[in-house]
């Protein structure tokens, strides 16, 4: 049976530029004031609503994108890749028998030493600092929210699957680096079991990265001009991690605060961002592409010069950086962590 390599073609969700409810909705303060002044019965209810936690309002801007049909020639490109995908991508799938489950790494309740194993797990966890737990939980949220990432893919410009494969190539390498660093730090803190878990997740991310980078590599072989232009377009928009809309019901800056802790601990940094870009530009041999259009040549020049530029900006930012404040994280029972 031939493998069908279907490009992303979902209808995008439409958000306003601020992603907040319009002023006339029932959540707005103006509506509550108007209702309470005109109806005494609603007055006490309005106060109760006011005392509730504020509703979810994503702190990041989500741009409206318009869907349009993919040109027939692009559809043909993906159809032509089906046999190639079957031969080159399926090899990265794990056998079901070798797939891991969380309980493979946790104490077995049916075992004789279950209580002692749980006690040992708690003792090891007690030695882990709060800032490490922040990056560990943040990484976990990134994986737990996988079903919601279609929202990110559905805001791509029109129906251009090139952007989706470029984005996931970058994002999977980023999560590979992040999980790998949490594994390394868990080992440094003496928790070898946690290091094994994080390392196993990192290995999965590496397989995902390999598959996506192969797809883009093939697209560059078939349609170098269209692919390099899409790559430059994605980098101009900047790669944001899917979890950038994380929210705990209180902190509108939760992702930024989590990212600051990850940067300080060296789990995922601006330098990693530049390293990933440099890796992909080299892996896809962007500098050696020939026969490009005027737009393609501009995209090529932009991509080849972007990584050094990001490094210079990061060096300046680090030189001006001041010690961040301590902020509470609800993830660790409001313990304060240095940003």
- Could you list the residues known to form a binding site for Fe cation, using ranges: 143, 172, 205, 208
Tokens of 320: 């001006």
158 φψ region: left (φ > 0), alpha (ψ -120 to 50), beta (else): left
β-pairing, 335-338 vs 326-329, is: antiparallel
**Would you call 336 helix, strand, or coil by DSSP?**
strand
Interatomic CA distance for residues 241 and 239, integer angstroms: 7
Interatomic CA distance for residues 251 and 45, integer angstroms: 25
The closest alpha carbon to 309, from 278, 266, 267, belongs to: 278
**Would you call 202 helix, strand, or coil by DSSP?**
helix
Looking up tokens 């930024």 gives: 256
CA distances from 222 to 65, 142, 216, 225 (A): 27, 33, 10, 9
Residue ranges for the known binding site are 143, 172, 205, 208
* Nearest-5° Cα angle at 144, 171 to 98: 85
Interatomic CA distance for residues 298 and 194, integer angstroms: 46
- Kindly state the DSSP code that residue 146 receives in the 8-state scheme: G
Question: Do 256 and 114 touch, CB atoms closer than 8 A?
Answer: no
The closest alpha carbon to 144, from 186, 196, 94, 102, belongs to: 102
């Amino acid at each position: 049976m031939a493998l069908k390599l279907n490009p992303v073609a979902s209808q995008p969700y439409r958000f306003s530029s601020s992603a907040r409810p319009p002023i006339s909705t029932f959540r707005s303060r103006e509506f509550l004031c108007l209702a309470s002044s005109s109806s005494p019965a609603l007055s006490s209810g309005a106060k109760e609503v006011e005392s509730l936690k504020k509703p979810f309002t994503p702190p990041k801007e989500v741009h409206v994108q318009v869907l349009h049909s993919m040109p027939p020639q692009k559809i043909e490109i993906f159809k032509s890749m089906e046999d190639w995908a079957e031969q080159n991508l399926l090899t990265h799938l794990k056998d079901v028998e070798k797939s891991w489950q969380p309980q493979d790494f946790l104490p077995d309740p049916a075992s004789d030493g279950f209580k002692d194993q749980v006690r040992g797990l708690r003792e090891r966890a007690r030695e882990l600092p709060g800032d490490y737990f922040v990056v560990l939980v943040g990484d976990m949220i990134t994986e737990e929210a996988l079903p919601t990432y279609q929202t990110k893919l559905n805001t791509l410009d029109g129906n251009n699957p090139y952007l989706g494969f470029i984005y996931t190539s970058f994002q999977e390498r980023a999560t590979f680096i992040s999980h790998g660093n949490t594994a390394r730090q868990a080992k440094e803190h003496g928790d070898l079991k946690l290091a094994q878990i994080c390392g196993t997740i990192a290995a999965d991310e590496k397989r995902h990265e390999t598959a996506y980078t192969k797809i883009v590599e093939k697209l560059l072989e078939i349609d170098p001009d269209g692919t390099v232009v899409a790559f430059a377009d994605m980098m101009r928009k900047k790669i944001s991690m899917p979890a950038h809309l994380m929210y705990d019901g209180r902190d509108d800056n939760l992702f930024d605060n989590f990212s600051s802790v990850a940067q300080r601990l060296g789990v995922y940094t601006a330098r990693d961002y530049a390293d990933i870009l440099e890796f992909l530009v080299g892996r896809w041999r962007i500098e050696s592409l020939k026969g490009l259009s005027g737009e393609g040549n501009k995209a090529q020049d932009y991509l080849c010069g972007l990584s050094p530029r990001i490094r210079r900006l990061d060096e300046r930012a680090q030189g001006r950086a001041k010690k961040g404040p301590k902020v509470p994280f609800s993830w660790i029972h409001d313990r304060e962590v240095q940003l």
